[in-house]
Chain A
Amino acid sequence: MAFKQLARKPLNWAERTYLPQIIMGLKITFWNMLKKKVTLEYPDVRPVIPNGYRGIPTLVKDPKGREKCVSCQLCEFVCPPKAIRIQPGEIPEDSENAHVEKAPKEFDIDMLRCIYCGFCQEVCPEEAIFLQKVFSLSGYSREEMVFPKAKLYELGGTYPDQHYKWEKKRSAAEENQANGHG
């Protein structure tokens, strides 16, 4: 490939004093002064968090108030820094959701270990754990930063549910029973 070399124009007399350039620079900075400020005054003004942001992971309930987690421990297993600790527990017989069989007895997420990767949300078969938009956490001790189940539900709240999987299962089972296949 042939290169074409362009001679750089020699500076003229005015340019060699640098003064025109300095005046140009001053003009630019002057108009900058009058422009809109880009500062976001953080604690007073919060940034708009985009959808899909990975903040703190929390447990969620479905709109009927059922806790969705079945303590399958997949998330505990997949979590790269081992931030999740689960103790599975039984759902008592007399509960409305007894057919779900299991729910976590203890569910701790250590927010100091969590790297906000979102694997837990991805892996959960029950859509029971979601990463929220909360990005700033603080506490006075390490223990305080291990969030127990109650706190995780409090932060997570309820999420819409498209399937109501366990209700369908229950009605299917009841139907089967009625048809004499049970």
Chain B
Amino acid sequence: MNYLPILIALLKAVIMISVVMGIAAYAVLAERKIAGWIQGRYGPNRTVLPFIGVIPILGNMLTRLGIFQPVADGLKFIFKEDPVPGHVNKFYYFLAPCVAFIPAMTTMVVLPFGEMDGVPLVLANIDIGMLFILAVSSLGVYGIILAGWSANSKYPFLGGIRASAQMISYELAMGLSILPAFLWANAPGSETGLSLFNVVQSQDQLWMVFWQPLSALIFLVALFAETNRLPFDMPEAETELVSGYHTEYGSMKFGLFFVGEYTHIVIGSGVLVVLYFGGWNFLPGIPFPWPAGWAGGLLSTLWFLLKVFSVVFFFMWIRWTLPRFRYDQVMRLGWAILLPLALANLVLNAILIALFENWLV
């Protein structure tokens, strides 16, 4: 039996996971830094590593930027005491962080992040990529609900209930807002279906965001709600629910929720970039100036990452700008505004496409 393909696949997966985990860890740092800057503070700037920290100018600069902070955060999560409250349902209490973490890590499998000689750089280029992401990422909410329920205390419970309600409300709008993008990306009779790679290919001249600004906006808002980011962070809502669904969790179990949340943000930003901001296409009108071969693959990946980082920055920027919605406002926005809007948008686009296909071409 030939083990080589399996080994290569394994290696790729490990690299991808480490990169995404690294980005998630640094997203936490970015969050703290941006929070600091917006509030007139410096943010974390004290953590020093031995040897690297004492390099004359560079070490000091890195320390001031807080580059080593995620290491300290991670170690803290691992070495902290890990108390299990007596009133929890042990099995589900331990299961919940894993259930929250695994889907967040799984969605990255189908996310394309670059292109090399016309071949997508992705772990699994499947035709139903978008469907897979929607299906798996919404599994993450089970972790939150389980955490809220198994903790057997009122604040986590409220957080869990809120999470489930919010997830249901915004999943619909999100799904409906994605459809126009795929409708336009796929020529009739094409076989690519819901492939994410194909969506990027179709944006080589015009990014979807300019063509479908409304869909992009609805998707963005729904994405904020799905990732429980600040104007929609109902399940956590520190000022209302202590710290929501993970109130009873400590040390690494909390760390799993935390990293899962930031991984969601990173992957969500990736999906947003793929669907609406042209993926790794350079600029609207200049699709692919990268050279052929691995250099092109690397450059396109870096360009994609740059876009993803900008979106992640936007996430944090929004968080420290907007206050939290009231819970009923979240529900009203989801059901009474976003859902009809997304439906109307879909119908309008379907009619437009029909007209376009039948009379103009």
Residue positions of A touching B, CB distance < 8 A: 22, 25-26, 28-30, 32-39, 41
Does B38 contact A33, Cβ atoms closer than 8 Å?
yes
B residues 40-59 near A (Cβ < 8 Å) are: 40-42
Taking the complex as formed, is B37 at the interface, i.e. its CB lies under 8 A from any CB of chain A? yes
A32 touches B37 (CB 8 A): yes
List, in ascending order, chain B residues with CB within 8 A of A35's CB.
Answer: 40
A25 to B322, CA, bound (A): 8
The reply to whether B40 and A39 contact each other, CB–CB distance below 8 Å, is: yes
* Majority SS at the chain A contact face: helix
Q: Chain B residue with minimal CB distance to A21?
A: B322
- In the assembled complex, the Cα of A41 lies from the Cα of B321 at a distance in Å of 25
Is the pair B322, A38 in contact by a Cβ cutoff of 8 Å? no
Report whether A30 and B322 are in contact in the complex, using a CB–CB cutoff of 8 Å: no
Query: Could you say which of A25, A26, A29, A37 contacts B41, with CB atoms under 8 Å apart?
Result: A37
Q: Which residues of A contact B34 (CB under 8 A)?
A: 33
**Could you tell me the distance between the alpha carbons of A18 and B42 in the complex, rounded to whole angstroms?**
30
Chain B contact residue count (CB 8 A cutoff): 13
B351 at the interface (CB under 8 A from A): no
A22 touches B321 (CB 8 A): yes
Q: Are B40 and A26 in contact (CB under 8 A)?
A: no
Is B37 touching A33 in the complex (CB atoms < 8 A)? Answer: yes
Shortest Cβ gap from A78 to chain B (Å): 42
Given contacts A29-B317, A33-B34, A33-B37, contact A41 B322 (CB under 8 A): no
B318 close to chain A: CB less than 8 A = yes
A26 contact set on B, CB distance < 8 A: 317-318, 321
Which residues in A have their C-beta under 8 angstroms from that of B36? 37
A39: contacting residue among B42, B318, B320, CB under 8 A: B42
Which of A30, A34, A36 is packed against the most chain B CB atoms within 10 Å? A30
Please give, as numbers and ranges, the residues of chain A lying within 8 Å of B40 by CB-CB distance.
Answer: 32, 35-39
Assembly CA distance A13 to B275 (angstroms): 29
Q: A26-B318, A28-B321, A37-B40 are in contact. List 15 more A-B contacts (CB 8 A).
A: A22-B321, A25-B321, A26-B321, A29-B38, A29-B321, A30-B317, A32-B37, A32-B38, A33-B34, A33-B37, A33-B38, A34-B37, A37-B36, A37-B42, A38-B40
Q: For the complex, give the distance between the alpha carbons of A64 and B62 in Å.
A: 52
